[in-house]
Structure 1
Amino acid sequence: MPALRVAQGQSQVKPSKVLLANEIPPMDRLTRFLPVKLLSSGFALPLPPQNSGDFVSILSADGFIELQPSNKKTEVKGGEPVNYYAWL
């Protein structure tokens, strides 16, 4: 996890890019971090939590994606590149 690596004195992690497997609804004014499962096709399948206390979705995740805030009211489309951080 990027914050833990920096806290341990390691260099800051640069995100890699992955392509979304499907669209994600918009959330303006908020940066979102969603767990994802990497598929053999090279796409990242979002595993959005079902509620604020849902930690089960991260059990099968390979890492997480970062979605920047947007003034657009449209979803992030499947196939778009997004920042990806691996757990390890």
Structure 2
Amino acid sequence: MPGVDSASLTSDLDLEWKISMAVSSSEVRSLNEVVVTLNLITTAQDGSKIVRPVEMTLAQFKDLKKTVENIHQQMENAKLL
């Protein structure tokens, strides 16, 4: 993760997600777009929680889902799971 020394992180990782509707923004008066928010949560060695929010459109989320499914399939084929 940018700005975080990966060696200082422990191996635990949690994922929270929610789906919401963006109805407007400071640049677009009427947006009406589905937004998926993912919070990647891990714990630093000192015990503090590190939360990295990621917002994406529904199309971007579907691309991410497809990519994760492809990675999972390749790992199964390589007998890594």
Question: TM over 0.5, yes or no?
Answer: no
Which of the pair has the greater relative contact order for Cα pairs under 8 Å at 6+ separation? 1
Higher helix share: 2
Instruction: Give the TM bin, normalised by the shorter chain.
Output: under 0.3
Q: What TM-score comes out, normalization by structure 2 length?
A: 0.26
Q: What TM-score comes out, normalization by structure 1 length?
A: 0.25
